[in-house]
Structure 1
């Protein structure tokens, strides 16, 4: 490793520690985009995430103007961002003004913002698409092979960090849901003189009949100390 590469390696080491210490997906992607601007010396950066395998959402940007560019592509289902998501490969736009692969509206908007070149890299976890990490430069040919290599490293760090943050949030939600259901069961057991199995069955049946998540049914019972009529009837059966 050359002397010039040492700062980059050290910076990635610090980023790995910082991502490990972040709390939640929001803080994770915010740390990624802030580091991205420094790592590739670009003007803007952003992250779009794939929510639940279908819905796409803008997770973090370093400037509001990037939201405009993202939203145009998300609404039209066309553009370099969408191509990156579909192909799960890097999309490199060396000169926005000369680009003809996508609609003119996209290139005009990018040009009006002052963006001249773009690099989109896929975020993946266990071969599943997580989202896209984007870099935006005010210079034509703003990204070279070295930038692509550094971007790939950052994308890998980001993919792992986002996947871990999502897993932690899911586990936290599961623990919270179990606590809520347990409290709701206790209310039913006391009010209707039910055992644990019967109390859970009441919650489950109302959840199915009303097409409401079990967690939400439990929360409603805890908040109001009342079970809707359908649930009350079930409790007395």
Structure 2
């Protein structure tokens, strides 16, 4: 008697069972991968919807940083860094003191990913800051602060000015290829949101300036019986005589009821 699975027929049965098992594993793997992609797509859609209803520029940026920390594998901290003149680095919406300190360190040492590589590349990975040789002074001190890994995404470049989404891991080699792929998706949203937030901030500043100058003109018009045009001329003359910005002159008048009378030292 031939034991079950033995002999030629038994070998065929075993081979068929192995092939069936392999196909099942492949199908299961594809389903898992598809499920992950669908889940990520849903999260990105939710992020986009939440950004559409948010009108505070800083809160938009903070929302993006929180999303990056939640969605990008290996991320512990994050911020959006703004570099001006390839010299000064400032943190916007930092998740903790760590990103702020690391950005300050880049300004202090005049080296680091935001002052170098991110100008040239869309994505910069720093697997282990403790052994990183591209920016030795910066890397060593950043590691001492508690940043073990970095992942930076370029948001925009305008001449010598730059914006970047910086993510930090507190362990070496925290970021993977998946981290880069998901990070690039979020960075694309961040680039648009950052531009919109900047425009919104400028718009609000312009509206505020218009309102303050309008209040100051109204005070002068009522007090001296001036037209709107002559009241504006009076404000500009006060600005010129005192060497104080027009908006500051208007704000001083609107809050105190008087024009500034002393020339500001330059």
Query: Which TM bucket (shorter chain)?
Result: 0.7 to 0.9
The change in CA–CA distance for 1:125 and 1:77 in structure 2 (over 3 A counts) is closer
The equivalent residue for 1:200 is 232
Aligned to 1:234: none
Are the counterparts in 2 of residues 85 and 132 from structure 1 also a CA contact under 8 Å? yes
After superposition, the Cα gap between the structure-2 partners of 1:208 and 1:152, relative to the gap in structure 1 and judged at 3 Å, is farther
**Structure 1 stretch displaced more, 127-136 or 74-83:** 127-136
* Pairing partner for 1:121 from 130, 135, 153: 153
Distance 2:241 2:69 in 1: 50
Q: Which residue of 2 aligns with 1:58?
A: 91
Cα distance change, pair 118–164 in 1 and its aligned pair in 2 (3 A): same
SS of the aligned residue for 2:133 comes to coil
TM-score, normalised to structure 1's length?
0.84
1:190 to 210, 222, 237: 222
1:134 partner SS: strand
Matched, 1:27 2:59: yes
Measure how far apart 1:200 and its partner are.
0.9
Between Structure 1 and Structure 2, how many residues are aligned? 230
- The answer to whether the aligner puts 1:68 opposite 2:80 as a matched pair is no
Aligned to 1:81: 114
**Aligned in 2, Cα 1:59/1:145: closer, same or farther, shift over 3 Å?**
same
Gaps of 5+ in 2: 1-32
Structure 1 gaps of 5+ residues are 232-237
TM-score by length of 2: 0.76
Q: Following TM superposition, by how much is the alpha carbon of 1:6 offset from its aligned partner in structure 2, in angstroms? A: 0.8
**1:7 counterpart SS class:** helix
Match of 2:257 among 212, 216, 225: 225
- Consecutive aligned runs of 4 or more in structure 1 exceeding 6 Å deviation: 51-54, 125-128
Distance 1:68 1:126, change over 3 A: closer
* 1:1-237 paired onto structure 2 within 5 Å: 2-41=34-73, 42-50=75-83, 56-87=89-120, 89-103=122-136, 105-124=137-156, 130-229=162-261
